[in-house]
Amino acid sequence: MRGAVAVGGAVGSAARVALGEAWTAAGPWVTWAELTVNLTGAFLLAVLLTRVENPRLRAGLGTGALGAWTTVSALGQGIGERLLAGDVVPGLTYATVTVVGGVLAAAVGTRLASSGTTAEVGP
């Protein structure tokens, strides 16, 4: 199980870094790559947990790949830096959009994944 998490983590973090380097654009309150990975991570984790029962696959893809893909620590740091700099509205906007967007993305992922049968992959 640890191996699956390690491999997944390597893949997820490499993908996140690649996206961040390729997409450096930032708005007044958001780093677009960071918001994208957090929202897609919430969606994909919901799909994974709804559709996949295999513990090793869930650990490798969920804890490993998607855990490394998402950037909750960067989110917290970004919000904290904005608030400490006095940028209250951008900081709170970023926090709200990420949390509400993540919940909505997970709800959509769960709804879409629930429309089929559960996948049992692997041993």
Q: Which pLDDT tens digit goes with each residue over 53-84?
A: 999 999 999 999 999 999 888 888 888 888 89
- Residue 28 scores a pLDDT above 80: no
d(CA 104, CA 67): 18
Domain span at residue 39 reads 2-114
Residue 84 lies in a domain: yes
Residue 45 lies in a domain: yes
Residue 85 lies in a domain: yes
Report the b/e string of 44-75 with b at 16+ CB within 10 A: bbbbbbbbbeeeebbbbbbbbbbbbbbbeebb
What predicted TM-score, i.e. pTM, was given to this entire model?
A: 0.84
Specify the number of domains making up the chain: 1
**Is the separation of the CB atoms in 1 and 56 below 8 Å?**
yes
- The predicted pLDDT at position 11 comes to 96
